[in-house]
Amino acid sequence: VNASSMWGSFVGRSSSTGGGFEWEGRDPDQQIRFNHLWVSQDALELLGVKMSEGRTFSKQYGDEATKIIINQAGIEAMGLENPVGKTFGLWGDNYEIIGIAEDFHFESLHQAITPFFIRYKEKEVDKVIVKVAQGEEQAAIAQLQDFYKDFNAGYELNYQFLDDDYQQLYTAETRVSVLSRCFAGIAILISCLGLFGLAAFTADRKKKEIGVRKVLGASVPNIVFLITKDFTRLVLIAILIGAPIAYFLSKNWLSDFNYHIDLNIGFFVLAAILLLAIALLTVGSQAVRAAMLNPREAINEV
């Protein structure tokens, strides 16, 4: 399947309604809001929508205008058992339930999957959907533009990619991600400059002490450890303070999504290791430089 058509939007909130529905065993006081979409033959297969029960729309079964497909969330909300083949009343008309679609995300992961029904519409559609092989996008668009000119001369072909539609659902998250990376990079750079300057100052202030220690037999690793231990202690304290705050903020941010990963302690351990490594590299360069000084020069400079 390479092409089909539909009316409505596959991504983002489709037109929604909360009344005019009837089904077997319905509680008169029950109100369910359904999102809905019209599609033609092969559209669901092209979009990758899978069926948990029943079938999709097909001309081989004759007129499909009185048939309907409902997602699992909708069936669960209705409490309908063995739904395939039963009648679903919609705004005064009766539709036969021919299939149950597996739940799919048509909104962002902030929202739980809500009830959704799909009806058949072969004509008067507003979108043609085309499946294009990866890497063939530009060639396919050029062919579609030529095809479009033959049937709609004087009109420009307007197209968009489904993955772009999904990406637009996360515009705020994308912006936050970019800004976070930028500010994190700036913060790391400023911190490294501060550590570098402080390490250089400390090494310069301890030149005489370092010279005396070397005369008394201290090795380069001993001197490096002497200079870096205080900085390492400060970095570890910063990690102990910052990690719980980062965990709380991350957990609070993830709680806005109905579907999200679980925070793993490994993320924070890795971040702590990287932070400690960056700090040690920054401070260590000055520590090694101080440890390599000639003891006589170090003592005479003071």
The pLDDT, as a whole number, for residue 101 is 92
In single-letter form, the type of residue at position 175 comes to R
In this prediction, what percent of the chain has a pLDDT beyond 90?
A: 7
pLDDT digits (tens, 9 = 90+) for 62-105: 888 889 999 999 999 888 888 888 888 888 789 899 999 999 88
pLDDT at 286: 73
Task: Report how far residue 138's alpha carbon sits from residue 160's, in angstroms, rounded to the nearest whole number.
Answer: 12
What average pLDDT does the structure give for the chain?
82
Residue 302: the pLDDT is: 47
Which strand (E) or helix (H) includes residue 100? strand 93-101
Q: What single-letter amino acid sits at 106? A: F
**Distance between CA atoms of residues 199 and 235, nearest Å:** 13
CA–CA dist 70, 122 (Å, integer) = 18
Q: How many CB atoms lie within 10 A of CB 3?
A: 14
Give the pLDDT confidence of 136-166 residue by residue, as tens digits.
888 888 888 888 888 877 778 888 888 888 8
Would the pLDDT of 12 be above 90?
A: no
Short-list 43, 49, 17, 256, CA closest to 115: 17
Contacts with 213 (C-beta within 8 Å, 6 or more apart), sequence order? 222, 223, 226
Tell me the average pLDDT across 255-273: 85
Contact between 46 and 4 (Cβ < 8 Å): yes
pLDDT of 299 strictly over 60: no
If pLDDT is split at 50, 70 and 90, which confidence band does 295 have?
low
Q: What is the DSSP string of 30-99?
A: ----EEEEEE-TTHHHHHT--EEEE----GGGS--TTEEEEEHHHHHHHT-SS-TT-EEEETTEEEEEEE
